[in-house]
Structure formats: structure tokens, C-alpha cells
């Protein structure tokens, strides 16, 4: 996988969408809590059963139930993705009809005091994004799928305007959901002592067995 490429992103809007991005984490937490509770109940039932044939049946029921839970969670996350993108698009439309504040847009040649960074570094970000992928939502006739995910790191470290561009729509959608769902904020980029908005590009490649 190629290294993460950092691009300085020109000023677009002062509106923060961190609460919209927070919705992804709330959905993840909700379904993880239910998985934990259901797992405990299945474990009690499994441990209480003495017949090995029935034990195998309980285990199979558990796996099927978890698959359904994953699918239902993905539907909720897809809804959150559409909602977030709609809100971001509406904000762009509002900006078209407004005069932007007289704030200087950083130029690519400006000296960067500190680049935006994810806690644990780029490898931690890549691992978390990979772990958040829902493979059941990816449909592909080829084994290798690729996309380039661009997103903005806001001045407060939250992320907005996640956009994946690749040949496989389902892979793009799951990549966007995964990036919006990361658990922590970035430390923002600093220019001339002030936090600025940055655009990242994250190439992703996945081999589907």
C-alpha cells in the first residue's frame, strides 16, 4: 500500500461536521454493546448444553445471528453516510451564495510547522481503517479492488468530506464508512502557529478471497 500523501487543503468552510461524524461511532458502539450481550447469552446456553450435537447447532446459530447483526449495522452506517454527505453538500451550496470571510487561503508553498497526525501514526490509522471494513458489503468479480480516499482534517482534528474514488462502488462506500468511523481525532496541522484544514489522500487496496 502506498504511503499516505498529505495535501494542503484551501479554506472552504468554517462549519464543523464533527457531530455528524460522531454518529458513526455511536452506531458502532450501539451494535458492539448488543453483540457483547448476545454473545454472553449464547455462551450461557452453550455451556449449559451437554449434547455435542446441540452445542454445534448453538454455535452455528450464533455465527448466523452475528452475520445478520453485521448486515443490519451496515444498513445503519450507510444511512449515516448518506445523511453526512447530504449535509456536507448542502453546506457547499450555501457557500456558493455567500461571500467567503476575508481569510487568507494557505498556499502550497507555505512552511508547515506541524503536519496533521493520527494518534499512533499512519500505520495505526491504516490498521484501524482495515479493521472497520465490512467485507460483506463489498461485491466484486475481481480479487483485487482499489480506491483513493480523500478527506479533510479540520482545525479541531475531526474529519469531514470523505470521498473515495475507485472502480468498485461498494468498496468505495465501505471505505468511506470506515474512515468516518475511526475512533479518535487527528492532531491538526499547524501553519504559522495556527491550526489549518488539511486534505489527505489515502490509497487503499484489498484482496478479496
What residue segments make up the domains of the chain, in order of their start?
5-207
Q: What is the mean pLDDT of residues 32-38?
A: 93
Secondary structure string (H, E, C) spanning 104-167: CCCCCCCCCCECCECCCCHHHHHHHHHHCCCHHHCCCCCCEEEEEEEEEECCCCCEEEEEEECC
On the question of pLDDT at 134 being above 90, the answer is yes
The pLDDT-based confidence of 116 (bands split at 50, 70, 90) is confident
* The three three-digit cell numbers of residue 19, written as one number: 457531530
The pLDDT-based confidence of 200 (bands split at 50, 70, 90) is confident
- Measured CA to CA, the distance from residue 43 to residue 54 in angstroms comes to 13
The reported pLDDT for the residue numbered 115 is 83
Q: What is the mean pLDDT of residues 171-198?
A: 92
Q: What is the mean pLDDT of residues 134-148?
A: 92
The reported pLDDT for the residue numbered 33 is 94
The reported pLDDT for the residue numbered 162 is 94
On the question of pLDDT at 180 being above 80, the answer is yes
Residues present in the chain in total: 209
- Measured CA to CA, the distance from residue 65 to residue 133 in angstroms comes to 19
Q: What is the mean pLDDT of the chain?
A: 83
On the question of pLDDT at 117 being above 70, the answer is yes
The reported pLDDT for the residue numbered 122 is 87
The reported pLDDT for the residue numbered 95 is 61
Residue with cell 494542503: 8
On the question of pLDDT at 8 being above 80, the answer is no
The reported pLDDT for the residue numbered 153 is 92
Percent above pLDDT 90 for the chain: 59
On the question of pLDDT at 10 being above 70, the answer is no
Q: What is the mean pLDDT of residues 133-146?
A: 91
The CB density around residue 13, as the number of other CB atoms within 10 Å, is 19
On the question of pLDDT at 103 being above 60, the answer is no
The reported pLDDT for the residue numbered 201 is 87
On the question of pLDDT at 104 being above 90, the answer is no
Q: What is the mean pLDDT of residues 28-55?
A: 93
The reported pLDDT for the residue numbered 4 is 33
Amino acid at each position: 500500500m502506498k504511503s499516505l500523501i498529505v495535501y494542503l487543503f484551501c479554506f472552504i468552510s468554517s462549519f464543523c461536521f464533527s457531530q455528524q461524524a460522531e454518529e458513526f461511532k455511536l452506531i458502532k458502539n450501539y451494535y458492539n454493546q448488543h453483540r457483547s450481550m448476545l454473545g454472553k447469552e449464547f455462551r450461557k446456553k452453550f455451556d449449559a448444553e451437554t449434547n455435542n450435537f446441540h452445542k454445534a447447532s448453538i454455535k452455528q446459530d450464533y455465527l448466523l445471528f452475528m452475520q445478520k447483526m453485521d448486515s443490519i449495522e451496515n444498513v445503519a452506517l450507510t444511512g449515516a453516510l448518506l445523511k453526512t454527505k447530504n449535509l456536507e453538500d448542502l453546506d457547499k451550496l450555501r457557500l456558493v451564495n455567500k461571500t467567503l470571510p476575508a481569510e487568507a487561503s494557505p498556499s502550497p508553498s507555505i512552511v508547515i510547522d506541524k503536519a496533521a497526525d493520527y494518534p499512533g501514526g499512519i500505520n495505526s490509522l491504516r490498521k484501524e481503517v482495515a479493521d472497520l471494513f465490512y467485507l460483506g458489503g463489498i461485491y466484486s468479480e475481481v480479487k483485487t479492488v482499489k480506491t483513493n480516499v480523500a478527506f479533510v482534517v479540520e482545525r479541531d482534528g475531526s474529519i469531514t468530506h470523505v470521498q473515495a474514488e475507485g472502480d468498485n462502488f461498494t468498496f468505495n462506500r465501505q471505505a468511506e464508512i470506515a474512515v468516518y468511523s475511526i475512533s479518535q481525532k487527528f492532531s491538526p496541522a499547524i501553519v504559522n502557529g495556527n491550526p489549518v484544514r488539511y486534505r489527505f489522500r489515502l490509497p487503499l487496496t484489498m484482496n478479496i478471497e
